[in-house]
Amino acid sequence: MKKCIESGERFLFSLNGTVVQGKVKKPILVAKHEEKDLVLSMIHQGTEVVDVYFYLNQGFIETKDRFTIYDSTNKSYLTKTTEISKNDFDKIYLGNENILGRKGEELIHIKKNEVIKIDNFKFTTNSFCYQQENILIVVSSGQMYWLYLDEVLNHSIRNKRTEVFSEAMIHHNGLIQIQVEFNA
């Protein structure tokens, strides 16, 4: 009893009088770096991170073999909500409420218990994408589509289409540049 009260030790005890020591798991220490209001902490170890994207209350970390989706509602904490294999989807896009995935030319709405194919939009082989908050901008074959990620109803996504001269657009991992040649 003295061990428990004075030194604060915790252990299992037996009614036959022998003391059994319990093993206590030590918490895993996570390296944190703080600077004013910014706190950086290690989330993934031992894997190569390919891409990171967060918007409002959720985000994802893409590694070589999977997409890990996190809920970021609580300040300074991430809660893992879903893991998606890269065998299932080529790319994922997050809105504030919805998760959509790309598999080849298909756009797919990923829900908790089901996967719904979007019928009113298809990617082309030469299309490139840029996500700005909850809008996915897709440029391909002379068209620019704005897909509103949080506005999915049944098998359709709200979209806006504009004709553009996409052949003059060059993109570098998200940056879009217009290439113009002047003949003097």
> Is 5 contained in some domain?
no
> Is 28 contained in some domain?
no
Burial label, 52 (beta-carbon count in 10 A; 0-12, 13-18, 19+) = exposed
Measured distance CA(76)–CA(40) in Å, rounded: 9
Asked whether 119 and 153 are in contact (CB, 8 A), the reply is: no
Asked if residue 25 has pLDDT above 60, the reply is no
> Is 71 contained in some domain?
yes
Query: Bigger pLDDT: 89 or 183?
Result: 89
User: What total of structural domains would you count in the chain?
Assistant: 1
pLDDT confidence of 16, banded at 50, 70, 90?
low
Q: Specify the pTM.
A: 0.70
pLDDT tens digits, one per residue of 72-126: 888 777 888 999 999 999 999 999 999 999 999 999 999 988 999 999 999 998 8
How many CB atoms within 10 Å of residue 68? 19
Measured distance CA(70)–CA(180) in Å, rounded: 41
Range of the domain at 159: 45-178
> Is 56 contained in some domain?
yes
